[in-house]
Amino acid sequence: MNSTAGRHPYTGPAECIRAARAGVAEIVRQLGASTAEGVDRCGDLLGEVGQHLQSAAGMLQGMEGPHNAGFRRDVEQLHREIKTLGRTLVESDRLISGWVRRVAVKSGGYTEQGASAPLVLIKKVSVEG
């Protein structure tokens, strides 16, 4: 049986779950390395992990057995983990974008909406000479 992407042949849900766990571990490793390329890759990795979990869920659908209940719990746990990782990435991006915008506003002479900041004229001028 194949994953939804068609790139990873699986013989059972255990392989899908292992691939998803490896993907989550890679995301955590990439985030720890703090490189621009690594952080950019995290979105793609999250998508791949989601595909692995979809494959596992598809294989488990309609199957009964003691091992399958454990696999279902693993899939649900990994689903929660990638949901949390995804939310963390989105909120981190929002925080950093807001911070960069505020720094640019303060140092660049623009309002937060991107317009030029109003000029402030000095009312009192003293000229000596």
> What are the pLDDT tens digits along the chain (129 aa)?
443 444 556 678 889 999 999 999 998 888 888 787 877 788 888 889 989 999 888 888 877 777 778 888 888 898 898 888 888 888 888 888 888 777 766 666 666 676 776 666 666 666 675
What pLDDT shows up at residue 23? 92
**SS3 of residue 110 by DSSP:** strand
Instruction: Tell me, yes or no, whether 7 lies in a domain.
Output: no
What pLDDT shows up at residue 1? 40
Task: Report how many domains make up the chain.
Answer: 1
What pLDDT shows up at residue 5? 42
Instruction: Tell me, yes or no, whether 67 lies in a domain.
Output: yes
Instruction: Tell me, yes or no, whether 54 lies in a domain.
Output: yes
Instruction: Tell me, yes or no, whether 8 lies in a domain.
Output: no
22, 17, 18: which is closest to 54 by C-alpha? 17
